[in-house]
Amino acid sequence: MPLGVYVQLLASGLSTGSIYALVGLGLMLAFKGTGVLNFAQGELVTLGAYTALFLSLTTSLPYWAIFILTILVAGVVGIVFERLLVRPLMRAPEFTVVVATLAVGLMIKDALRIAWQESVSSIPSPFADVSVRFGDISINAQYLWVTFCALAIMGMLALFFNNNLAGKAMRAVAQNQTAARLMGIRVNRVFSATFALSSAIAALAGILIAPIHGIEPEMGNVLMKGFVAAVLGGFNSLVGCVIAAFMLGVIETFGGAFFGGLFKDVTAFALLILVLLVRPNGLFGSAEARRV
């Protein structure tokens, strides 16, 4: 097989891993900020993609305006999601909150299926038909753009949690809400901001994946791969989540090319089991007293 094919497979695998990374980072952000594991994150990815599609069909706005507006709308959706569902259930058992987010995700999926049927759509991207050449090797610019966005979001979140007072406040709230209130942290605002950011990252993933794989109601199934990446990397390590997601995306892509599509359905969970048998806290995680 020519070298160019291997490079293209690597670029494709990294872009796939980048989507997993963005979903995993959104899950980790919500968990770090509120202690809630949001299983509606996958459907928020789908909702972001359909929001961009709706804006592209009903307005004459350029791609970048749709890009920014979709992320802003997703942030508002995240605030509404937190106000109407998460906040009233914060005193309920953690399992109850997780089931509630899963139920909301299924409702979003069914609503989108009713509104848009089962057709596969897409949105135009300025990178979709652009190739970056390195000698005789040509790489789709959309793959590079997706990978860049995942790395950029990881870097910004790392700086946010480590160097920003708001990020530290989110971590304090997730650890102990009562203690955070006694320290003067406005817990309700932290909850709203956390879900706004998490939903915005989900919408970003939806916009990025749309030109590559299309838009359809089942695209939220990427949640499980993002969750696997977050657990593999260690649920308290942003860098670990991205590295694990890249590794997962590359292994899936090369495995699918050499062994067939069914390989992708087995890889993620087989790799998860193997890693957790050796390192229960993930590749880069450390033991913490955290809510589950």
- Is 190 part of a structural domain of the chain? yes
Return the structure tokens found at 106: 């299924």
pTM above 0.85, yes or no: yes
- DSSP code for 89: G
Q: What CA–CA distances, in Å, run from 264 to 17, 246, 255?
A: 12, 14, 7
- Is 58 part of a structural domain of the chain? yes
Q: In a 3-state reduction of DSSP, which class is residue 121?
A: strand
- Is 35 part of a structural domain of the chain? yes
- Over residues 186-202, the pLDDT tens digits come to 777 888 888 999 999 99
- Is 283 part of a structural domain of the chain? no
Report the domain count for the chain: 1
- Is 134 part of a structural domain of the chain? no
- Is 132 part of a structural domain of the chain? no
What is the predicted pLDDT for the residue at 80? 93
Confidence class for position 287, pLDDT limits 50, 70, 90 = low
Residue 230, domain CATH: 1.10.3470
Question: Could you write out the three-class secondary structure of 19-59?
Answer: HHHHHHHHHHHHHHHHCCCCCCHHHHHHHHHHHHHHHHHHC
CA 56 distance to own-chain centroid? 22
Domain of residue 238 covers 3-117+139-278
- Residue 167 is which amino acid? G
- Over residues 106-119, the pLDDT tens digits come to 999 999 999 888 78
Return the structure tokens found at 121: 């759509």
Return the structure tokens found at 191: 């909850």
In the chain, alpha helices (H) = 3-34, 41-58, 63-81, 94-116, 141-163, 165-175, 177-182, 187-213, 222-233, 238-259, 262-278
What is the predicted pLDDT for the residue at 66? 94
Q: What is the dihedral of CA 186, 187, 188, 191, to 10 degrees?
A: 130
- DSSP code for 235: T
